Homo-oligomer: A and B are copies of this chain.
Amino acid sequence: MHKIGIIDLGSNTTRLIVMAYESGVCFRLTDEVSEVVRLAEGVGATHRLQAKPIRRAVNALRMFERHCQGTGVEQIIAVGTSAIREATNQAAFWKALHAATSLDLRIISAQEEAYYGYLGAANALGLRHGFTFDTGGGSTQVVAVADRRPVATYSVQAGVVRFTERFVRTDPISKTDLRALRDAARSAFTSLDWLRADPAHTLVGMGGTVRTLARIDQKSRAYPLDRAHGYSLSREALAAIIEQLIRTDHREREQIPGLKDDRSDVTLAGAVIIEQLMDKGGFQQLTVSGQGVREGLFYAHFLQGTDPPLLADPRGFSILNLARLSYYEEAHCQKVAAICLSLFDQLAPLHSYGPWARELLGYAATIHDIGVAVGYYDHHKHSEYLVHNAALLGFTHREIAILGALVRNHRKGFSELSSFTPVLQPEDSTLIARLSALLRLAEYLERSKSQVVQAVHVTLGETVRVVVEAAGDASVEIWDTNRRAGLFRKAFDKAIEIVAG
């Protein structure tokens, strides 16, 4: 695998991510180092970078460069955003940077920044129609997305460091300052006329502030999944967090679960910017993207030659990506998928599920065994753990919970999902039981992993009859499958017999 480092020097944070990848085939994040250097600290109206922040930033960048040298990174892409873009004394920064590193840092325009953020979020969430926004330290970028493509871009100097320095002058914030902060945030989006809520349009948020808000909300609700990516944050929840941040001083904020120390002072300004953005468009929800500019830069590299560099099918890609990284047995998994999808289709009169359920079942079949990479014993549980914690793209949390349950139930017992109730729909427990039952039948029909089963022919009646067409002897598989059919009987409330053809 190749290794590439992506560095993003922002107004608040500078970050390095390292990706190991094979072009267009698979990738994984192997490292992330982030330093809150606050490059924009004290720039004020003159836009002069101060000596201390420059030193902090250059020190961090030098450390990132050493990191890349020490870990076999072959190529580095480094970009700088609003703080350096707007600096009236860029020369001072370049001098310090070139004295300490050999990094080739490129200043990207606000439009490029918006574009790479969009690329990251659109790939990571499979966004088709809607808007992305990225609230950084110095500015906020908004992109309108239609049919997966960026169709309009808006950039404004509303950033969390910038607004914190200007408006959050007491701890807690004074009423007057809060009013001024809200007014400034509102004004920032006055001319953003194309931002409008619509049931078919998703609003996607990126950046440290959005992730922090998601974590605070999740902690307050004892949310069952430990992932911000794909999380749906409501306008109401945002209002509650803002209320909390207004009422607390920095000591009290230390106690807020989900709020990290180095975000404690700037999150209020960020939250108010997002509040005004949502209100401008009339949005009641936003979806958090864990990926943004850095990942966008990576996708542009990873998908060179594709314009725009979008994964054709982020969900399917990320399932295969996960399977490959977990040493999956391709022939076995494909056979299990083929069998259970055939059962699904032939049993349609019994379940009436559509393409969405079918798609999830196929994914679950592809990755049902990935937990073996953790350890063979109880690998169905490890598969669920991997599903919950891997970087799957384009799935809602509900879908993640369903996928996790399916891979877990492909063998052994049947686990109740009570802890996932907050992300599931009432009908999902039946869905999970039924799809799990089909996956389990398929797994046992392919127990020998020898692809002996060629086809299954289902006859519906008092008893469901599955005739197995095999290329050779499949008697043990058929015998085992009959023994494991209890889940099917329970889930479909139907007798079943599996017989040789």
List B contacts of A32 (CB < 8 A). 376-377
- Bound together, the chains give a CA A35 to CA B479 distance in angstroms of 11
> Is A450 part of the binding interface, using a Cβ–Cβ cutoff of 8 Å?
yes
Q: When the two chains form their complex, are residues A71 and B329 in contact, meaning their CB atoms are under 8 A apart?
A: yes
B385 adjacent to A473 (CB under 8 Å):
no
- Contact residue among B59, B62, B372, B447 (Cβ-Cβ distance under 8 Å from A63): B447
CA distance in complex: A331, B448 (Å):
41
CB contacts (< 8 Å) of A372 on chain B: these are 30-31
* Known contacts A66-B452, A452-B66, A473-B62; A390/B373 CB under 8 A: no
A70 within 8 A of B: yes
Residue of B nearest to A29 (CB): B376
A348 at the interface (CB under 8 A from B): no
Q: Is A237 an interface residue (CB 8 A)?
A: no
User: Is A430 an interface residue when CB atoms closer than 8 A count as contact?
Assistant: no
A373 to B63, CA, bound (A): 24
Q: Which residues of the other chain, B, contact A92 by a CB distance below 8 angstroms?
A: none
Copies of this chain present in the complex amount to 2
Q: Among B332, B389, B451, which residue has its beta carbon within 8 angstroms of that of A382?
A: B389
For residue A55, which residue of chain B has the nearest CB? B475
Contact pattern, A 18-57, Cβ under 8 Å of B = 1, otherwise 0: 0000000000111111010000000000000000000000
Count chain A residues whose beta carbon lies closer than 8 angstroms to a beta carbon of B.
51
Interchain nearest-CB distance for A29 vs B (Å): 4
Q: A438 contacts which chain B residues (CB < 8 A)?
A: none
Q: Is A378 an interface residue (CB 8 A)?
A: yes
**A31, A59, A332, A475 — most chain B CB neighbours (10 Å):** A31
Judging by beta carbons under 8 Å apart, are A449 and B71 in contact?
yes
Q: Complex: how many Å from CA A447 to CA B32?
A: 11
Given the complex of chains A and B, what is the CA–CA distance between A377 and B15 in angstroms? 14
Cα–Cα, bound, A69→B381 (Å)? 27
B376 & A385 in contact (Cβ 8 Å cutoff): no
Q: Which of B60, B70, B390 contacts A450 (CB 8 A)?
A: B70
Known contacts A372-B30, A375-B391; decide if A59 and B476 are in contact (CB<8 Å).
Answer: yes
| Interface membership of A416, Cβ < 8 A | no
Are A476 and B71 interface neighbours, CB within 8 A?
Answer: no
Q: Is A67 an interface residue (CB 8 A)?
A: yes
A265 adjacent to chain B (CB < 8 Å): no
- Chain B residues with CB under 8 A of A35: 476, 480
Tell me if A495 counts as interface (CB < 8 A to partner B).
Answer: no
A171 interface residue, CB < 8 Å from B? no
Contacts of A359 in B (CB 8 A): none
Least Cβ distance of A240 to chain B in Å?
24
Complex-state Cα separation, A450 to B33, whole angstroms: 13
B70 x A33 contact (CB < 8 A):
no
Given known contacts A59-B475, A382-B389, A448-B63, A373 and B376 CB-to-CB distance under 8 angstroms: no
Q: A70-B331, A450-B70 are in contact. Are A226 and B378 (CB under 8 A)?
A: yes
- Give Cα A35–Cα B480 distance, bound, in whole angstroms: 9
Tell whether A386 is near chain B: CB-to-CB under 8 Å. yes
> Is the C-beta of A113 less than 8 angstroms from some C-beta in chain B?
no
Nearest chain B residue, comparing its CB with the CB of A71: B449
A28 to chain B, nearest CB (A): 8
Chain A residues 66-83 with CB under 8 Å of chain B are 66-67, 69-71
Q: Mark A320-332, 1 if CB is under 8 A from B, else 0.
A: 0000010001011
Asked whether any CB of chain B lies closer than 8 Å to the CB of A374, the reply is yes
Beyond A70-B449, A332-B70, A448-B70, is A376–B63 a contact (Cβ under 8 Å)?
A: no
Asked whether any CB of chain B lies closer than 8 Å to the CB of A477, the reply is: yes
Which residues of chain B are within 8 angstroms of A480 by Cβ–Cβ distance? 35
Which chain B residues lie closer than 8 Å to A28 at the CB level?
376
Chain A 357-380 interface 0/1 with B at a Cβ cutoff of 8 Å (1 = within): 000000000000000111111100
Specify which chain B residues have a CB less than 8 angstroms from the CB of A389 in the assembled complex. Answer: 374-375, 377-378, 382
Can you give 7 contacting A-B residue pairs, CB < 8 Å? A35-B480, A59-B475, A59-B479, A71-B332, A325-B373, A374-B386, A385-B385
